[in-house]
Amino acid sequence: MNRPNILLLCADMAGAADFGCYGSVSDITPNIDGLAAAGVLFEQAYCPCPPCIPARVSLMSGLYAHTHGKIAHLKMRPAPQPPLLPELLSRAGYRAGIVGKTHWWPPTATLGCDDTYITIDNHLTPELGKNDAYMQFLESKGLFEYDDDTWEHEKDKLKPDLLPFDCLKANWTARQTCELLATYARNEEPFFLFCSFVEPHGAGKVPSEYLEKIDAATLPPIIERNGEHEDKPRIQRRAVERWTVERDAKETYRREVYAGIGLVDQNVGKILDTVRELGLAENTAVVFLTDHGDLMYDHGCIEKTFLYEQAIRIPFLISGPGIPSGERRKHLVSQIDLLPTILDLCDIEVDSLRIEGRSVLPIIRNPGVDWRTRLYAEVDQTVHLKGLVSSASAKMVREGSWKYIYTLVEGHVVEEELYDLDEDPDELFNKAGLPAHRERLRAFQADILRWLVATEVNRSHPAPENHYPVPSIDKRFF
């Protein structure tokens, strides 16, 4: 069988609603929108745990965060580490490469890839130190020399306005990806290439002049209402008080994020052009997604600490051989579905793997097949809300138009949210306190418990010498 090549493109901290193919009118993502038009777009795709580290482990393992153990934004090894997508493909004869951000621990981990050019967010560069491939590139150009002792005093030299445009990290990431594509095109074996942009990941990734391309009038209005948090969990009220800034600062932040998304799109276009120029298009499946979204001051919140749609609903597009063009699917899908989907595309057996995601190929080929009716997400908020609480963790279930979030603070304070996304798509009105929904709340609580118990069997990643039978879960429900 002529197995397809896999090109996985990922942007950092951008939600589905920020892209034209998902309804944005900002007109900054023509290349990604074109990719959607050439393949299948999933309208309801979710990140299972929004901080970067948990999301990326789920992406590579097909497991929920509480299963693989990295539910918080913490620098620690998954222990034991589950089988990862690149190494599974490598075992099957694929040449695997990564360019860009992995956000793994240890930070130099190759994830089973043959070719690695790993970088990280600039403020986290000390994690990689001289192993940062982007820093090595800048040093080769005489633009920056990383040193542990002088880093804090020298890092301002990395500001976008002080670097040649061609040497910005997003442009380096795309260029290195294109170089690897050219190498792979000369080889006979199929390839897997993960191009992982650091951008947009908040503000400050593009030169000031680039912001002029962003028409502020096309940016979505900030989602908020007066008194919104009177019926929201207290933990949100306290967080919003911490993040209070002037409205001009909020608008500037949003413009810089959108400028970063535009820069990513520009480079996605260069990569897709290279795929076509190298004659790889006919046998290369291209996937685009993000690790999670950015609240961008919606609901008074920043980045990804709370499980609002802007933080967890992500773009998820697939195009390539055997994939229909210009179609959309409304099914509930998750990042944990990526690993089984790619293995399915490559005709690699998945039944023996202890993964929790499901291949989306059946619903791509036939949207009427049986599929899950519920979707789950979670987040440990302790790290991002340090100083406000000593512990806080939230679990979410989505079913139909309903979305329920159960938050446990300090191990005993229960805070609940309930939204009808058909009636209230912006999640401005929490219905959890209404007597009419008490039975619905209890049903969702029971469903979250069932999910946690069912997936608990995967936490230990049983070793081969373990002869005890391990129960399996019915993936129709998860």
Q: How far is CA 453 from CA 65, 447, 458, 461, in A?
A: 14, 10, 10, 15
pLDDT of residue 7 exceeding 70, the answer is yes
E strands, 102-216, are 115-119, 191-200
| Residue 472 scores a pLDDT above 70 | no
- For 109-134, give one letter per residue: b (16+ CB within 10 A) or e: bbbbbebbbbbbbbebbebbeebbbb
Residue 234 inside a domain? The answer is yes
Q: How many domains are there within the chain?
A: 1
Please give the pLDDT value at position 464.
Answer: 52
pLDDT band at 170 (very low <50, low <70, confident <90, very high): very high
Q: What is the mean pLDDT of residues 47-72?
A: 92
SS3 207: coil
Residue 35's pLDDT band, with cuts at 50, 70 and 90, is: very high
* Domain CATH for 154: 3.40.720.10
Q: Assign 296 to helix, strand or coil.
A: coil
Q: Is residue 383 assigned to a domain?
A: no
Task: Domain of residue 223: give its range.
Answer: 5-372
Measured CA to CA, the distance from residue 134 to residue 157 in angstroms comes to: 14
Which of 204-218, 242-256, 388-402, 448-462 shows the lowest per-residue confidence on average (mean pLDDT)?
Answer: 448-462
DSSP 185-200: HTSSS-EEEEEEEEEE
Q: Any bridge partners for residue 403, and if so which?
A: 398, 419
In terms of Cβ atoms closer than 10 Å to its own Cβ (0-12, 13-18, 19+), residue 397 is buried
Q: pLDDT confidence of 461, banded at 50, 70, 90?
A: low
Instruction: pLDDT band for 211, please (50, 70, 90 cuts).
Output: confident
Give the pTM: 0.95
Q: b/e per residue, 351-385, with b = 16+ CB within 10 A?
A: eebbbbbbbbbbbbeeeeeebbebbbbbbbbbebb
d(CA 296, CA 294): 5
Q: In Å, how far are 69, 169, 197, 408 from 53, measured between CA atoms?
A: 11, 20, 14, 21
Confidence of residue 450 (pLDDT cuts 50, 70, 90): very high
Calpha distance 360→297 (Å, rounded): 33
Share of the chain above pLDDT 70, in %: 95
Which residue type sits at 108? T
Confidence of residue 214 (pLDDT cuts 50, 70, 90): confident
**Which residue reads 């670097």 in tokens?**
163
| pLDDT tens profile 392-445 | 999 999 999 999 999 999 999 999 999 999 999 999 999 999 999 999 999 999
Residue 47 lies in a domain: yes
Whole-number Cα distances in Å, 47 to 10, 42, 193: 13, 13, 21
- Residue 394 maps to a domain: no
Please report whether residue 449 resides in a domain. Answer: no
Is 10 a domain residue?
Answer: yes
Each residue's pLDDT tens digit, 300-333: 999 998 999 999 999 999 999 999 999 999 999 9
Q: What is the structure's pLDDT at 294?
A: 97
Checking if the pLDDT of 471 tops 80, the result is no
- Which tokens in the block code for residue 453? 């118990």
Inside any domain, residue 325: yes
Indicate whether 168 belongs to any domain.
yes
Q: How many CB atoms lie within 10 A of CB 220?
A: 16
Confidence check: pLDDT of 1 > 60: no
Closest CA to 345 of 315, 320, 314: 320
What pLDDT does 231 receive?
92
**Average pLDDT estimate for 287-291:** 98
pLDDT tens, position by position, 325-372: 999 999 999 999 999 999 999 999 877 678 899 999 999 999 999 999
Average pLDDT over residues 242-250: 93
In whole numbers, what is the pLDDT of the chain averaged over residues?
A: 93
Classify residue 418 by burial, with Cβ atoms within 10 Å: 0-12, 13-18, 19+: buried
What would the mean pLDDT of 48-61 be, rounded to a whole number?
A: 94
| Predicted pLDDT at 458 | 74
| pLDDT tens readout for residues 119-140 | 999 989 999 999 999 999 999 9
Q: What is the signed CA dihedral for 355, 459, 292, 421, rounded to 10 degrees?
A: 90
